[in-house]
Structure 1
Amino acid sequence: METTLQAPVDKQWTIATGLALFTVLYNIGEGIVSLYFGTHDEALTLAGFGVDSFIEVVSGLGILAMIARLRRFGSKNRGNFERLALRITGGCFYVLVAGLILGAAFSIWENQKPETTMAGIVVSVLSIAIMRVLAWWKIRTGEQLHSAPIIADAKCTMVCVYMSVVLLASSVLYEWLHLPYIDGAGMLGLAWFAFKEGQESLEKANGVETCCGHC
């Protein structure tokens, strides 16, 4: 009977592992592409989006490490480990916020204009399509496993969707109007979402034992 009950849980952990692994691999590719075209075309919003992709990689690696640990040692000290994963994710977002604000200030001060934002349009449309499905699947899996870090990681992915919308809007507006400061404004938009997500991750870290204590 115990084996029968355990099988669905093991399946959900396997799904969570696959989702985290896909997150890592996809965001490595997205980050490299975004940083390359962002720096090449001087599109700082796209470059900032690329940095966010690597934060997604950190979050995904944290989830993979958490799953491996749980499968090896069970739920012993699970709350402490999940709290650490949440704090790492939140801290990474705060670092991103600082970088985006400095980048936006530089862009506005120097009246910097991208050569083109077409790469941003392509990257953002692809990200919106893929990340929405990925975030939904992560939330569903995290709720079934009662795992706050997996749910937080899902919301991190959902923030990537919001950031993709900001990137798409700023890229389309600049490609259409070629007005100054649009790229800087896009970076400030990314900074806002990054700050909110970092704040939520750290708040959840303070209450993770309550969320997961029954698991």
Structure 2
Amino acid sequence: MPRRRRRGLLLMAALPPPAAPAGARRAVLVRRVRLLVAATIAYNTVEAGVALAAGAAASSTALIGFGLDSLIEVSSAAAVAWQFSARTAEARRARERRALRVIAVSFFALAAYVTVEAVRAPAGAGGADTSVPGIVLAAASVAVMPFLSLAQRRAGRELGSATAVADSRQTLLCTYLSAALLVGLLANALLGWSWADPAAALVIAALAVKEGREAWRGDSCCAPAGIALAARPAAEDSCGCGPDRACR
């Protein structure tokens, strides 16, 4: 091994592990995550109801897929709430992997359903109708979701919680989905492009597969700002990440 590289490894080994949040700070972060989860559940419940109703009325595969994604986000937020309802950090870590798997499987199921419906849509009797409620909903989500995601991600990284960070990524995904949905609905309404709705649905499916894979692997947890929930060796934190925060 080259001397310079060996010296660098020795220096890294000598560095103390990143300090976990103090008890009072951790309690504040846990309460913050719970409040953000509650806000996410409330917003996405309304979002799902409006999207599914508007999608059924307009025969819009993209809107229905968006509504189903909102239901998955509710289940994801509920999984985070379940994890953080545990009384100890050890119990929260034990629940974390199961919660991530639930989130991942939900994403894969959504992608499969939306893909099938998007492929079948062009062979149907006609394209999707214009949906004003869907356009308003998509625009509102583009405006709201980035702020919720950023707040969730900061709190989750500081806690070192892969589940909280995965949920924040789902919330951010909702922004991308909302933008794709908005473009598709506007193109259909203003330009008469009937193919824009199934195209937007396929974008939603592709993003869902990507996020499902990352949640399954637990990639969401590895982040430069991540801090362990409990003391671990310097070579690995509570998320299984090394000193460079690369997932192992």
Give TM-score scaled by structure 2 length: 0.79
Offset at residue 206 of structure 1 (A): 11
Q: Which has the higher contact order (CA 8 A, sep 6+)?
A: 1
Percent of aligned pairs sharing the same letter: 29
Among 80, 83, 87, the residue aligned to 2:94: 80
Instruction: Name the structure 1 match of 2:30.
Output: 13
Contact 2:115 2:201 in 1 (8 A): yes
Matches within 5 A, 1:35-184: 35-69=52-86, 72=87, 74-110=88-124, 112-184=126-198
Whichever structure has more helix as a proportion of its residues is 1
Contact 1:56 1:157 in 2 (8 A): yes
Instruction: Name the structure 1 match of 2:204.
Output: 190
| CA RMSD across the alignment | 2.1
Give TM-score scaled by structure 1 length: 0.90
Structure 1 residues 12 and 181: CA distance shift in structure 2, 3 A: same
Offset at residue 205 of structure 1 (A): 7.3
**Residue 85 of structure 2 aligns to a residue in which SS?**
helix
User: How many residues were matched structurally?
Assistant: 208
Moved over 4 A (4+): 205-211
* Counterparts of 1:162 and 1:152, CA distance in 2: 15
* Structure number with bigger Rg: 2
Q: Cα deviation per residue 1:3-53 (whole Å; 9 max; x = unaligned)?
A: x93111101100000001111111111000100011011122111100000
* Counterparts of 1:142 and 1:167, CA distance in 2: 28
Is residue 212 from structure 1 mapped to residue 238 from structure 2 by the alignment? yes
Runs of 5+ consecutive residues of structure 2 not aligned to the other structure: 1-20, 223-227, 229-235, 241-248
Structure 1 stretch displaced more, 35-44 or 117-126: 117-126
